[in-house]
Amino acid sequence: MGLLDAKLSGENVLVTSVDNVLNWARLSSLWPMGFGLACCAIEMMATNASNYDLERFGIFPRSSPRQSDLMIVAGTVTMKMAERVIRLYEQMPEPRYVLSMGSCSNCGGPYWNHGYHVLKGVDRVIPVDVYVPGCPPRPEALIGGLMKIQELIRMEGIGLSREEALRKLEEAPVDPGIYIEREHRKATAS
Ligand code: SF4
């Protein structure tokens, strides 16, 4: 801090681009919607608690979809709940992001074979940006997924569409275990 104080003590000029400033502000204040569907939500709550302290990333859960820019789908999406998930997603303002947390939300999880009542992946009803595998994923894995969302935001820009940012992210090295969805985005964009 002393070094920083010394560097910024006088008058200074910082040169950057509008893209950088806007993206930095957006990725440093991600507001996920506070809702959970099943056991994965317990891990999500633990991630928000003091041991992991998501607020140091500027990530702070909001109680309304209208004030949220990130949906973390944490848990089993039943057919009955899928309609509600769509409604909540549609109430979120753009730009909005979706992180699918855990096997149930990614692909139906342990209900894949016999769970006639479970959606086989939330990406069948809403577009997903980042999948975090696990049953349930640990808080560290969720934080890894959130950092991927931040990377995606960092690559977006006034002249760069979401699809182009996803393509750039695809070319960047991907953490093991975290898979970035692109095809579904492309499909929903067209
Ligand atoms: S993935 Fe596992 S921990 Fe998560 S909601 Fe499904 S059964 Fe529960």
Domain ranges of the chain: 22-146
In CATH, the architecture of 22-146 is 3-Layer(aba) Sandwich (3.40)
Rg (CA), the chain: 18
Higher pLDDT among residues 53 and 167, named by residue: 53
> Residues comprising the binding site for [4Fe-4S] cluster?
39-40, 104, 135
Amino acid identity, position 77: V
- Contact 70/99 with Cβ under 8 angstroms? yes
CA of 152 from ligand 1 middle (Å) equals 26
Pocket of ligand 1 from Cβ distances under 6 Å: 38-40, 75-76, 102-104, 109-110, 135-136
pTM of the model: 0.81
For residue 168, pLDDT beyond 90 = no
Segment 176-185, tens digit of pLDDT:
445 555 444 4
CA of 73 from ligand 1 middle (Å) equals 11
The b-or-e profile of 121-139 (16+ CB within 10 A means b, else e) is bbbebbbbbbbbbbebbeb
Q: How far apart are CA 59 and CA 35, in angstroms?
A: 14
Segment 2-48, tens digit of pLDDT:
666 666 677 778 788 888 888 899 999 999 998 899 999 999 999 99
> Residues comprising the binding site?
39-40, 104, 135
Atom of ligand 1 nearest to the CA of 37: 5
The predicted structure's pLDDT at residue 190: 44
Choose one of 114, 135, 138, 142 to mutate for the ligand 1 pocket test, by most ligand atoms within 8 angstroms of C-beta: 135
Q: How far apart are CA 144 and CA 129, in angstroms?
A: 13
Nearest CA to ligand 1 atom 2: 135
Choose one of 72, 73, 103 to mutate for the ligand 1 pocket test, by most ligand atoms within 8 angstroms of C-beta: 103
